[in-house]
Amino acid sequence: MLYRLAADGLVLFHLTFILFVLFGGLLTLKWPRVMCLHLPAVAWGIAVEVLHLPCPLTRWENLLRHLAGQDGYGDGFIEHYILTLIYPAGLTANIQLALGAVVVLVNLAVYGRVIRRYVQA
């Protein structure tokens, strides 16, 4: 039971990390020190996606599931848990690029504003 709870907790942490990578820049508007955590998280997220690296959190979750007597899964976290949320039926490559561009533009705008605050101060 403990291994299953740990695996479920790791799923929540994994999802929180992904959300932090995507939207953590917005937190820097209120708390600029978050930038020290957000920028490395973004770099890691980009590296995992662009270089197709296996995420260690997925591996750890599968290990905990096996220790709990459950089946793990062969694909990655996103494919297993949230692929249908992120990539619903009918989503084209152009729409994916547009959504990715929105994330990049939002973070660029947020960090631009944070930088302007430091320059003006």
- Judge whether residue 66 has pLDDT over 80: yes
Packing angle of the helix pair 35-50, 2-30 (nearest 10 deg): 120
Asked whether 25 and 111 are in contact (CB, 8 A), the reply is yes
Q: Taking all residues of the chain, what is their mean pLDDT, rounded to a whole number?
A: 80
Structure tokens at 69: 């007597």
- Judge whether residue 83 has pLDDT over 70: no
Confidence of residue 24 (pLDDT cuts 50, 70, 90): very high
Q: What is the pLDDT of residues 25-40, one digit of tens each?
A: 999 988 989 999 999 9
Share of the chain above pLDDT 70, in %: 82
CA atoms within 13 Å, Cβ hemisphere of 31:
7
pTM of the model: 0.69
